Chains A and B, each alone.
Chain A
Amino acid sequence: MSSIYRTLTGGTLRDIALACLAVWFIGLSYGAIATASGFPLWVPAAQSVLVLAGASEFLFIGIVAAGGNPIAAALAGLLVNARHLPYGLALPDVTGRGWRRLLGSHVMNDESVVFALAQEDLPRKRAAYWACGLGVLLCWPAGAILGALIGRAIGNTDAFGLDAMFPAVILALIMPALRDRVTVRAALAGAAIALATTPFLPAGLPVLLALAGVACTLSRRATR
């Protein structure tokens, strides 16, 4: 992975490190919530490594802690994670081929995808994707396990505004793409659909429905 350091500028690496630090903080609160809800350490520890997708893990823990069936909780989590399929379609070949694709696919998450999209050429997209993906693969479980161990000592992480970090990270990184007028229209339409349907639909589905916003780019192209 030494090529990552040669390909990426110091600024991008620093940004990736910050995003990973934010992931670590959220992991802390995830581990703490899991043990506070009555789960043994192995549940957040195994989920953080094997699932490696924060929102779905929070949802799984929440549903099971409230008395829900774990299989139903897993299906709800899968609905939240379905967005990874269009992510993989959107990226050029960043995951690698053969056995590398197994790990390369597993480290696909919101942060690694958005860092890859923000880079200009394929070598940089690939380097940013792997640097962020591997960083999250280390930081998310590390945060979750530490959070589970120290549990209630963490207190309320909302007081530090940590919940605002995830949307801010993603927003900052899609900002260059949003300077394109057709893309921003599609993004706004999609966001409006997601927001309007959130009160009524199960978690994950509103974000998938936002894909209908892409139709805005189609009609523009047709009229051009």
Chain B
Amino acid sequence: MKDTALVLAGLLTLSAGTFAFRFSGPVLRQRVAFPPWAERLLEAAAVVLLAALVVTTALTKGHGFAGLARPAGVLVGGGLAWRKAPFLAVVLAAAAITAVLRLLGVP
């Protein structure tokens, strides 16, 4: 590993900065009185962020395509969730489909 002090400095920078992001949201929300439509908009923003996270973590690895097995598993899980299947079934089905596809040689 590189210089221990430098790694520690990076680690503490990442920790402190991440905490600042986490802490400032609730503080701002408390200070500013948002009208109901703005609150709905902020909640929609969180759903949009989470949806983007789903699509990027399902389909990409680094800057490229993740292969077919992972998105196929997530898609099956999503289909089950749409049909209101239990959470356990959704998550295990996604992992199982992906694992089986990889076993069969699908990247």
Distance between A22 CB and nearest chain B CB, rounded to angstroms: 7
B55 touches A195 (CB 8 A): yes
- With the chains together, A136 CA to B88 CA distance in Å? 17
B11 touches A86 (CB 8 A): no
Report if A56-B49 is in contact (Cβ < 8 Å); known contacts: A18-B91, A171-B74.
no
Majority secondary structure of chain B interface residues (helix, strand, loop or mixed)? helix
Report if A56-B50 is in contact (Cβ < 8 Å); known contacts: A89-B29, A105-B22.
no
For chain A, the bracket of interface size reads 35 or more
For chain B, the bracket of interface size reads 35 or more
B51 touches A70 (CB 8 A): no
A146 at the interface (CB under 8 A from B): no
**Interface-side segment among A2-10, A137-145, A210-218:** A210-218
Report if A56-B14 is in contact (Cβ < 8 Å); known contacts: A161-B99, A175-B81.
yes
Report if A84-B22 is in contact (Cβ < 8 Å); known contacts: A158-B102, A190-B51, A195-B60.
yes
Q: Chain A residues in contact with chain B, CB under 8 A?
A: 14-15, 18-19, 22, 38-40, 43, 46-47, 50-53, 56, 60, 64, 69-71, 73-75, 77-78, 81-95, 97, 101-102, 104-106, 108, 110, 113-114, 117, 158-175, 177-178, 182-183, 186-188, 190-191, 193-195, 198-200, 203, 206-208, 210-211, 213-214, 217-218, 221
